[in-house]
A and B are shown apart, each in its own frame.
Chain A
Amino acid sequence: MTRYAMVIDLNTCVGCNACMAACAMENQTPVWKNKWRTYVHDKEIGSGEDVHRRFFPRLCNHCDNPPCLSVCPTGATYKLDNGIVKVDEALCMGCRACAMACPYDARLEVTHDDVETGREFYGEAYRRSRPSMDKCTFCDHRLEQGLQPACVETCVGSARQFGDLDDPNDPVAQMVARGVARPLMPHLGTRPNVYYIDDLKRRG
């Protein structure tokens, strides 16, 4: 079995936003209203003179126990055996319960207007025909072709790494197993599959 996961190393993310742009172009998201499948936040942290700047990329965590899926009334949200949580645009009625349920703010809406703008913006190549909720798919269409997710492929800091938790030789799996890379808000019980390597430890 394959269980996909992403590790994000905050030590080498430079906040370049290449992942945002790559994802938008790959997945034809509604950039015209500033909606993305992934965001990179730019935060000032620390107190007093001990001040740091942290870049914090985020995306759907492809939870093993996804509340967005359990609330979805139509079955539009579904989970693949490899752990990827997806939305079927034909089934989704756009009630947004999934957005309410997601603790990671990972969902965005694509409205009728967006579909129309999308047709203009992405032209003939626009793939969507219905409005629906949208979210990161771990670029499963690329995985099928043996490629990495668009954001991972282009990450200039190699901060984003992608792998298979079920493969003990996969560096991503090892980082997760060793506890170097840890999930966000595990107490919520969502069992996320995006893991982060802390950047403050190194600075001591």
Chain B
Amino acid sequence: MAWKLPSLNRRAFLKTAGYGGAGLGLLTPIGQLAGKSGPEQTTDADDTSYSICNFCSSLCNLKVTSQTRNGVKRITKLAGNPHSTLNRGKICARGQSGLRQTYDTDRLKTPLIRVEGSKRGEWAFRAASWEEAWQYIDAKAKKAEIQPYEWTMVGGWTSCVFYMSWAVPFAMANAIPNIIASPMQHCVTTGHIGTDMVTGNFNIHDEVLPDYDNAKYILFVANNSSIGAVSTCRMVRFATGRKRGAKVVALDPRRSETAAKADEWLAIRPGTDLDFMLAMLKVMMDEGYYDALFLKQHSNMPFLLYRDSDGEWQPLTDAEGRPRVLSEGSERLYSLPAYSNRNGSDVEGNPVDPALRAPDGFEVDGKPVVTVFQAQLAELEGRTPEWAAKSTGIDAETIRRIAFEFGTTRPAIVDPGWHGARYQNMMMLRRVQAMIQMLTGGIDKKGGWIMSGEFHHKAARMIEAREKGEPAGPPFAALAGMPFAKFVVETFSDGNNFPHGRPGWAWAYSDQERAAGREYVALPVMADTGLKESVEGTLQWNGEPYRTRAVLINAANPVRHYYPDSRWKEILGHPDMELVVAIDVLPADTTLWADVILPNSSYLERDEPALYGNGVNHDLALTTRYAAIDPLYDTEETPDILLRMSNIISGSEYGLLQWVEKLTGLPAEAVKERYAQKRTQMEHGAFSAACREVYFEQTAKRLHTTPEAIDQTLRERGIYQEQDREALLEHAAMPRKLPLPSESGRVEFFAPLFHALRQGGNRLPNFNVLGGHIAAECRPDTPMDMPLAGDEFYFTYGKTPTVSYASTNSNNPVLAAINQFKREIYGGVWIHPDRAEALGIRTGDRLQLRNTATGQQTEGDAYVTRLIRRDALFIHSSFGSENPKLTRAYGFGTATSKLIPYRVEPVVAGFRSQEFTIKVSRLDQVAATDPTRSANVLTPHPSPLPEGEGESVRFANDSIGGVA
């Protein structure tokens, strides 16, 4: 039937109406009578400003639209900044919903002080003025005589990325050697250091952006939200690559968003990726699927090694400690420069063709000597696809084929990975992935891993200074890569850097444990290991107790983000804990445990104190935030809070300014002057604004322009482009043009960092100088391929496309609604139907989950799906908020921090957050037998959205099931 009977359509009707049939005209007034008003009435012009998203460390560039109506300016829309080559004008669901954080009715609107007589964890706060809050903190600090080293700072990625230049100087100025940074044990140190040990490029938040656009083969290993679910700058590139026909393979025990876009989904057994990668590395090295020229020229593969009397690998060096190599086809030894990007000529300038293999039985001074290449191959002895097939559950043929495809397709990318943690072998996994990538020579090259513009820029300057023998300059501005990591380690591990002589408690704790002959963490960089002990008074330093009695938390939520939550509740709720100050924008679960909550303005309400690099963008560009509206509430800026806190802790503000200058180069005098001016004009944010002005001026000088010109460009485009990637790579491609910021300047298969640590006595397999095997230990002394009990599962988790970490944006009304729409998938416990059936579990059933190792328990709702391996459970790690003040997030989903025990690996205290198994049962069945079952468990909370408003919203109540 044609529904379009011959008729006037509305347009035609309106036209004829103009000729005025009285009757037709009758219709119009009805509209007016009905109070018609459409978008047409909006005559006010929209305002555009530019900013940076604050929902994850992908740091997308934003275009912010606001509208003024009836004198009220309101943000109406966020979009990707179209001028940005980072996120290419796009932003994810979190980015889009960002403006609702500012307008979230649950926001922190004034400082809050815990009422007398209440306990931490109860949410009993009274609104206070800023002065009251400062006085309260001051009085408390004085009364309890809190020493600088008794303070601990906890910072989330926001404070890392945007305020590191104030937070670290704050620590130094106030002699606080203790900083815990949220991203470290989860991603930056556990995962990235693995990668960085090969490429040398450590930075605080990921510095490699693979060139998916141009890749022909892409292999994803244990990652999802870093790509498809979603890191926008990566996803936009990946989408292009896929459209252009790249073959995509994903290793993931479940069909994640990213794995859903793969041509081949390899549902690997959790914790065994390293086995897969080692087998792949072996096949590639055995079969010659590598770029030999690149390895010879730009890596330490040809460097010679021997085993010392302990059986430890030692580099064969000349008298001056320079690496030695053999030239192809001869047995002559050549010394190469200690720091260089190429191996093509020796220290005397003789051309060398470094051999990847020493002849069989080659000896120097009676010791058998081999190349790193050979040592690595020996390390891979027995790591065949057949061996890996056993643990990974992926057949040997497939592993061999993937190695072949990857090794023979150029350009190919194995994604470096982002979130680390999970297993003690994760750092090694990321390291072996980097080795595989380096075998193809795919670094700083079209279709390979490309380092960020900012990183190139810094590294180039650092190398230039090094070559000239000049001092590098303020470390934050001048140190790139591993030297920066080293700087951080040296600063906090050495008590001599502080007037009180104490290193951070994490380092003191490592020393104590080591002295006691117990397992200890070698490099607890900004980690939480030892905090609990220092709070409880069991940590000694030089024979004295080393206590933590005050905590300053900025933009971090350890109760949800660290493991287990009970540990953090004990720490923050400890009777000896004198003062907990939290800076946040929303009543996060951790703020429940504070004494004072200081409200920060939201990212859309603030100008930032600095210009920033453009994240992982290949192009070199500057950007910053412009406040789209004035702060809605009585909120303050981070640098200003730190300034005031300096006053309280060390009685001086100027110390902070000086340390900022020392570390970043921002001139203290100029800032001081500007601040004196601004504070007479502004109630809040004067210090921040002062820093910003000086920062603009300083940058203008470097760029030979004016601050006004930078400001104008940024106001018009949000991005100040300095150089595009082609130009950068032409002179700064590493290691082809410049040395890498690694120890040797080359790509490092043999790891000098671990070599040094082994020399210092760290001999666990975690400190292997080469790529080697480390097993995941989910059950004591039981290999991963041994059968599990009928109700037992490996535990896996991952992030949700609509939530950042387990952050407060699960409370964002738009995101919360999407989470409700997909609540089974996002909020549920994924379980395979074959296993579920055997346990009598159906989608929606309330489950009890129990950690078999520790007995930790929590609950969840079953989501039965074939998108997960039979031996694994999966939950999204974004939920489980316990603060009822987060009205939309409260009670949704399952908190990982209730299941994960405190267990860390020995290198950087990375969380072994999946190294256990879980037993599952239906709650009604447990409840019948065990009356104590729900201690420490959230009671399910009615959803804030109407019941039955779900997936098929209109038709929610009567779905007749789909047909596959």
Contacts and interface: CB of A to CB of B under 8 A. Distances in A.
Direct contact between A and B judged by beta carbons closer than 8 A = yes
A159 interface: yes
A35, A54, A156, A158 pick with most chain B CB within 10 angstroms: A156
B742 interface: no
B96 A21 contact: yes
Contact of B13 (A12, A75, A89): A75
Interface in A32-55: 32-36, 39, 41-47, 49, 51-55
B69 interface: yes
Contacts of B42: 127
Contact of A16 (B31, B92, B962): B92
A12 B74 contact: no
B93 A53 contact: no
A75 B10 contact: yes
B817 A34 contact: yes
A202 B38 contact: no
Interface residues of B, number: 82
A123 interface: yes
Interface stretch (B77-85, B113-121, B378-386): B77-85
Interface stretch (A64-72, A162-170, A176-184): A64-72
Contacts, number: 210
Contact of B260 (A34, A41, A53, A79): A53
A52 B36 contact: no
B232 interface: yes
A203 B263 contact: yes
Given A14-B230, A18-B95, A127-B42, A54 B946 contact: no
From B240, B814, B952, B962, residue with most partner A Cβ within 10 Å: B814
B229 to A, nearest CB: 6
A14 B260 contact: yes
A9 B243 contact: yes
A89 B258 contact: no
Interface in B50-89: 67, 69-70, 72, 74, 76-80, 89
B102 to A, nearest CB: 11
Contacts of A54: 260
A15 B260 contact: yes
Contacts of B881: none
A127 B90 CA distance: 25
Contacts of B72: 123-124
B518 interface: no
Given A17-B818, A79-B10, A158-B239, A129 B257 contact: no
Interface in A148-201: 150, 153-159, 189
Interface string B941-961: 000011001111111000000
Interface in B28-53: 31, 34-39, 41-42
A127 B230 contact: no
Given A44-B866, A53-B867, A14 B258 contact: yes
A53 B255 contact: yes
Contacts of B962: 43
B824 to A, nearest CB: 9
B77 A25 contact: yes
Nearest to B812: A21
Contacts of B255: 51-53
A115 to B, nearest CB: 10
A99 B954 CA distance: 10
Interface string A77-113: 0111100000011110000000100000100100000
Nearest to A204: B263
A25 B76 contact: yes
Interface in B813-852: 813-815, 817-818, 820-822, 825
Interface stretch (B1-9, B524-532, B556-564): B1-9
Interface residues of A, number: 73
Interface in A5-38: 9, 11-12, 14-18, 20-22, 24-26, 31-36
A75 B928 CA distance: 60
A34 B945 contact: yes
Contacts of A31: 813-814, 817
A130 B33 CA distance: 11
A49 to B, nearest CB: 8
A21 B230 contact: no
A138 to B, nearest CB: 14
Given A14-B235, A16-B230, A65-B2, A55 B263 contact: no
A47 B91 CA distance: 34
A61 to B, nearest CB: 15
A52 B239 CA distance: 18
Contact of B945 (A33, A41, A69, A157): A33
A125 B67 contact: yes
Contacts of A43: 962
Contacts of B143: none
Given A25-B814, A75-B13, A130-B34, A12 B3 contact: no
B62 to A, nearest CB: 11
Nearest to B72: A124
Interface in A124-158: 124-125, 127-130, 141, 150, 153-158
Given A31-B813, A34-B817, A127-B39, A153 B232 contact: no
A16 B964 contact: no
Contact of B36 (A55, A71, A89): A89
Contacts of A35: 949, 953
Contacts of A78: 9-11
Nearest to A159: B239
A17 B93 contact: yes
B36 A130 contact: yes
A11 B240 CA distance: 11
Given A14-B235, A18-B90, A202-B263, A42 B230 contact: no
A41 B451 CA distance: 35
Nearest to B37: A129
5 contacts: A18-B96, A24-B814, A121-B103, A124-B74, A156-B90
Given A18-B93, A128-B37, 5 more contacts: A15-B257, A44-B867, A105-B954, A123-B72, A130-B35
Interface of B: 1-5, 9-11, 13, 31, 34-39, 41-42, 67, 69-70, 72, 74, 76-80, 89-97, 99-100, 103, 228-230, 232, 235-236, 239-240, 242-243, 255, 257-261, 263, 801-802, 813-815, 817-818, 820-822, 825, 865-867, 945-946, 949-955, 962, 964
Interface of A: 9, 11-12, 14-18, 20-22, 24-26, 31-36, 39, 41-47, 49, 51-55, 65-67, 69-71, 75, 78-81, 88-91, 99, 105, 108, 121-125, 127-130, 141, 150, 153-159, 189, 202-203
